[in-house]
Amino acid sequence: MRVAILSDIHGNRHALEAVLDDVREAGADELWCLGDLVGYGADPDACVELARERFAICLAGNHDLAVTGGIGIEEFSRGAAVSARWTREVIRAENLAYLEALRPSGVEGAYALYHASPRDAVWEYVLSEQLADLCLDAAERRVSFIGHSHVALAFVRENETGRTIGALREPGSTADLRERHWMLNPGSVGQPRDGDPRAAWLLLDTEAEQAEWRRTRYDVAGAQDAIRAAGLPDSLADRLGYGQ
């Protein structure tokens, strides 16, 4: 089976629609999402409706939980808090109900899925090798997928040395998951923070046990206009332009 793994869509309909076109062309059989359907972006309803229609698996992210009231927004930055409050006001009841039913982690066959990390599925940012090493110990499967940091990357524990190595992943780079312990982040569909403004996702082949990082061009200006038209902070529109 070929699975497209998406994360951190953040109400960016323009990015999600472009990725869904790309996913169809790549021949993926299923879509899994690691959470944060909403927050920051101007189209929460459109994104949740596409998720309800297309995603076989969907986790809850911290921004989804902030909108449903599952967690408080005290720890959010100003832009994140403003957009969480705005999303809460505008989102349709049936889409809010869908978000309320989501959980921040799950296990699917040979794979463990976490919005943030195996140790703390809601909040922990896994960006260092030291932390990734602890997370690999806590993971429920040999291979896990995480989102939350909005950075396309992989951590792998080397067999020979037992050391955990991490690296950013360029589009087209692959991982052979047949052996060793892995933690993979597809990057963010709707708000990349690794300097590449294109929407990020990952294609997993469960038979070959191979993963490939992908990037999709989308209408960034359209997403920026929608954020401004909604009256959300300008900074949320600006950052989409440089992928930070």
Interaction site with Zn ion (CB under 5 A): 8, 36
Pure H helices in 26-77:
44-54, 62-68
Contact 243, 218 (CB under 8 A): no
Nearer to Zn ion, 8 or 43 (CB): 8
Radius of gyration of the chain (CA): 17
Could you tell me the smallest distance in angstroms from the CB atom of residue 134 to Zn ion? 21
- Minimum distance between the CB of residue 61 and Zn ion, rounded to whole angstroms? 5
Rounded to the nearest 10°, the torsion over CA 129, 134, 136, 137 is 150
CB of 207 to Zn ion, least distance (A): 30
**Residue 22: in which H helix or E strand, if any?**
helix 13-25
If the CB atoms of residues 88 and 180 are measured against Zn ion, the closer one turns out to be 88
Least distance in angstroms from the C-beta of 103 to Zn ion: 16
106 with 113: CB under 8 angstroms? yes
Cβ at position 63, least distance to Zn ion in Å: 6
Q: Which of 101, 94, 5, 103 is nearest to 44 (CA)?
A: 94
Query: For residues 80 and 177, which CB has a smaller minimum distance to Zn ion in the complex?
Result: 80
Count how many Cα atoms sit within 13 Å of the Cα of residue 153 in the half-sphere of its side chain. Answer: 22
The smaller minimum CB distance to Zn ion, of residues 104 and 181, is found at 104
Closer to Zn ion by CB, 123 or 205: give it. 123
> What is the number of alpha carbons within 13 Å of residue 210 lying toward its C-beta?
5
